[in-house]
Amino acid sequence: MQQKMTLGQLQAFLAEHFAQVADDFTILEAAPMRLTLRYHTDERHIRPGGTISGPAMFTVADVAVYLAILTMVGPRLLAVTTSCAIDFMRKPAAGRDLIAETRLLKLGRALAVGDVLIFSEGAEPPVARASLTYAIPPD
């Protein structure tokens, strides 16, 4: 399949429609069926023990799969997550950004499935993995 939005178009789409959170994210790569996203963490995300909150990890996985879908189908404001399964495997370090690498495993007319590995910047093994299903509204 062909890519319908470029990295720059995706970043602009975020800024326009998700203004309250767009600055937290930098798209590092947008390719057919694959996308890499950086989440700029800050004090709001730090939790006891010097780690990053679970909701922050959920957030970056959710946004990464959303953007990976838009890359392929074009701007669909109302695509919604219908389910997510996430495993938290290691503690990400406080003070480091999260990097989400996602690939789309299925891109049907109505449903898409993506899986995600989440990394704490600069560390090797992934801190979490997630899989998400999105319902895609008609164009």
Residues at the contact surface with a copy of itself, assessed by CB under 8 A: 17-18, 20, 43-44, 47-49, 54-55, 58-59, 62, 77-78, 80-91, 105-106, 110-111, 113, 115, 117, 125-126, 129, 131, 133, 135
Q: How far is the CB of 116 from a copy of itself (least distance, A)?
A: 11
Q: How far is the CB of 92 from a copy of itself (least distance, A)?
A: 11
Given the complex with a copy of itself, which of 108 and 122 has the nearer CB atom? 108
112 closest CA partner among 66, 74, 63, 59 = 66
Query: What burial letters (b/e) apply to 6-36, b meaning 16+ CB within 10 Å?
Result: ebebbbebbeeeeeeebebbbbeebeebebb
d(CA 113, CA 108): 9
Given the complex with a copy of itself, which of 96 and 103 has the nearer CB atom? 103
Q: How far is the CB of 66 from a copy of itself (least distance, A)?
A: 9
